[in-house]
Every structure is written in C-alpha cells, then in structure tokens.
Amino acid sequence: MARTHTRRFPTPIQHDGRAYLTTAQVAKLLGVKPATVYAYVSRGRMSSARIDGIDGSVFPVDEIEALVDGRPRRTPAGVVERIQTELTLLADDRLYYRGRDAVTLAETASFEEVAALLWNVETDWPAAALDDDAIEAIRAAAGGRARGVDLVRMTVDVLGARDALRYQVDPAAVAVKVAALIGGCLQVLAAGEPGSGAVADRLWPCLTEESPAPRKIKVLNAALVLLADHDLSVGTVAARVAASSRGSVYAVIGAGLGAFDGPTHGGATTLAYRFLRDAIDDPDVAVAAVLHAGNRIPGTGHVVYRDRDPRAEYLLGIIAGSGGDPRVGQALDRIRQHLPESSFLNSDFALAALALQHSMRADAAETVFALARIVGWTAHALEEYGARALRFRPEGVYTGVRPGSSASAAQ
C-alpha cells in the first residue's frame, strides 16, 4: 500500500494563537476516514502543521470550516493560483481576443478598436500628453544611446509621477490614462512632433524616414493588433502581480516593461532583426553559421504554437505587398527552405522583416512590440483589479545555512 505523504513544516512551530483540530477531530467532523484527511492535504484542499506538545498533525479550523461550507480556501503558501481570464485564447495554433480571431481583427480593425475590445471600454486617444519641456527633459536624461523601449519606460514613469489620481482603477479612468500615455510615448519617440491620426499613423514617422502609404500603415497597424496580447507571457504575469498589489496602471506597465526588457522576450525581436539584417546578402551563409554554432535561428519556433505562428503568417503575407526593400522577401524564401520541418517563423521574425523592409531604426521591432503590449497589460490589470488583492504568494524553498548549524557558528 502506497504511503501517504503530507505537507508539514520542517520543525514543529510554536502555537500561533490559531485554532487547530487533530486528525481524529477533522475526520469525525467531515465524516471521512483519517487516511482521507491526509489525501485532502496532498491534493492541496487544506494544510497540516505540527505544534510543540501535540502528537501528530493538526489542521487549521478556518480551513476545515471553509471545506465544510463548500467555500474555496485561500491558496496555501507556495502555490500560485491558476489565473482565469476572459481576454485571450490560444488554441489550435490560432489567437483569439475575447472570442474573436485576432488575424481577422488585424485585417479589419484599428489598434484603437482592439484596445477598446480588450479593455471593454471605449475612450478618446489624445495626440499629446506632454509639454515640450517634459519631452526634451526625457530625451536628454535618456541620452543618445537610449532605445525606443527606454524612452517608453521613462515616459511611463514621468506621466505616472505627474498623475495625482494615478490610483484610479475603474476601467474608464484607466483607459483615459493609457490612451494618453501611448500618445505621450509617441511624442517622445518623435522628439516632440505629436502628429495626427491613428496610433499607427503617428508611430510610422517615429520609426523610419520612409514616406508613409496606406498599405504600409496597414501593416504597422496589423502588427500592433496582433502583438497587443498573448495570454500569460512573462511580462503579463509581472503586470498582473503589480496589479494584484493595487499598483497604479503606470506601475503595472512599468512591471510589464521590466520583464519585457530581456533577450528572451522583447529583445528576441532585436536578435531576429540582427540575424535577418546580416542574412539579407547571403542567407545560406548566415543560416549555416547559426547551425554550425549549434544554435536555433532567431525568430523561429515557439513555446506555445506547434506548427505555425498565425501572427507571423499574416504579417509576412502583407509585408510582401507593402513595397520597400525586395531583398528581405528573397532572404525569407531562402531561410524558410533551411528550416527544419518542425520549425517555422514567428512574430519576432515578422517584426524584424517589417523593420528591415522599410528601413526602420534598429530597435523599431522591439518598440512596436512594447507599445502594442501596453494595451494587453492594461487589459490584464483591469481583470486583476477585480480579483482578490495580493493573491500571488509563492513560498521560497530555503537552501542556505540553517540557524544554529555548525556552518553558521563558524561564520
């Protein structure tokens, strides 16, 4: 017969004033056998403890009462809750926002309309949120080496610091703040020229000196739509944790940007850009060099999608018809031929192709990604504001020197 394992503290605790029941008492109260009580513990339905002076395990009364009443108990320390969301579904290599196919939305809707869908609230999108002095100060403080993502992060902090009502969490107020925030980011990226029109129209001249055209703006808008959210990626989890502590939406976006800023998340677009840039003149040599080093081609495969990235498929299809540098499409065709059968180009590669085809700045792909994902982080924050506060509390597994041990005494 398999031995039942129970979760117990490493050493008995002193009584903390909380009421506890013995195994026999719990079994009698629940009308089950003692073995079933320990099964409940192993399944996470309740927790056990040890107290000095009491033989055997004991169980918190409030958890037992909740179990009797049919109420879900608080998740024990060390367990991270499953996050329920109505926002984004990834299923069968397809992406949906609130039940609507994201590729269809990229074809038919503006970035602002998709934001309204994800936020479940409509709002105005102002062209300007910062005065010239603030824009100049942000750019001067950032310095000449600042990336677009750096400027976005600094703009978020400045606007948050200036907002006396930053802790408003009702959807309408949050939507107003974030629409203005994105407008402020565009001002800073454009060095003060606020521009006019939709977000994609205003963003284009921030990224390239190439003249805009409807087919080009359509591609950029589609990229913003398709990158707006992607379920619980690492940046989104960070944003939700910040929202669970009731941080302002500026703090939420700052947390998301912090997790975003790394080579395995937002920075993956830059790695794809650098690879494709170097591969344009001789794709075969570029692919061979990566494979010889035992590495994966940047911008290929995915941790969620199995056979294709629907975002990349759509974007690469419309990028091909948007004009620009024809060498990019030619390089893509050669690179595809060298991919393993189980691999495919992902959205990082598509953003890199967009940037190179239209002579955008080197960090353009990452900048587009960050601005788009601000909308998703905001939507997740609005969900999280309606959930129980501080519900994320993993328990650390201490592996250091134990107090009172010979090692600690030697130190």
User: What is the full DSSP assignment across 324-336?
Assistant: S-HHHHHHHHHHH
pLDDT at 145: 95
Q: What is the mean pLDDT of residues 378-404?
A: 89
Q: What is the mean pLDDT of residues 146-162?
A: 98
Q: What is the mean pLDDT of residues 50-56?
A: 75
Q: Give the C-alpha separation, 210 to 112, whole Å.
A: 24
| Strand bridging mode 20-22 / 58-60 | antiparallel
pLDDT at 214: 96
pLDDT at 410: 64
Q: Give the C-alpha separation, 232 to 380, whole Å.
A: 9
pLDDT at 394: 79
CA 70 centroid distance within chain: 34
Residue 7 clears pLDDT 70, i.e. is over it: no
Q: What is the mean pLDDT of residues 149-165?
A: 98
Q: What is the mean pLDDT of residues 155-174?
A: 98
Q: What is the mean pLDDT of residues 338-360?
A: 96
Contacts of 297 (CB under 8 A, 6+ apart): 275, 287, 290, 291, 335, 338, 339, 343
Instruction: Give the 3-state secondary structure of residue 345.
Output: strand
pLDDT at 409: 62
pLDDT band per the 50, 70, 90 thresholds, residue 361: very high
pLDDT band per the 50, 70, 90 thresholds, residue 2: very low
The two tokens of residue 400 are 């250091």
Contacts of 372 (CB under 8 A, 6+ apart): 111, 223, 224, 225, 226, 227, 228
The two tokens of residue 369 are 């990604």
Residues above pLDDT 90, as percent of the chain = 71
- HEC string of 41-86 equals HHCCCCCCECECCCCCCEEEHHHHHHHHHCCCCCCCCCCCCCCCCC
Instruction: Give the 3-state secondary structure of residue 95.
Output: strand
Q: Give the C-alpha separation, 55 to 193, whole Å.
A: 74
Residue 93 clears pLDDT 60, i.e. is over it: yes
For residue 345, the cross-strand partners are 300
What's the pTM?
Answer: 0.81
- Distance, first Cα to last Cα, the chain: 46
pLDDT band per the 50, 70, 90 thresholds, residue 8: very low
pLDDT in tens, 309-323: 999 999 999 999 999
Angle between helices 199-207 and 214-226 (to 10 degrees): 100
Between 146 and 53, the more confident residue is 146
Residue 192 clears pLDDT 80, i.e. is over it: no
Q: Contact, 385 vs 243, CB < 8 A?
A: yes
Domains, the chain, with CATH or none: 7-79 (1.10.1660), 88-385 (1.10.580.10)
Contacts of 248 (CB under 8 A, 6+ apart): 160, 163, 166, 167
Nearest to 127 by CA among 183, 61, 209: 183
pLDDT in tens, 193-250: 767 899 999 999 999 999 999 999 999 999 999 999 999 999 999 999 999 999 999 9
Residues above pLDDT 70, as percent of the chain = 90
pLDDT at 162: 97
Nearest to 219 by CA among 329, 112, 111, 335: 111
pLDDT at 79: 46
The two tokens of residue 147 are 């990336």
Instruction: Give the 3-state secondary structure of residue 131.
Output: coil
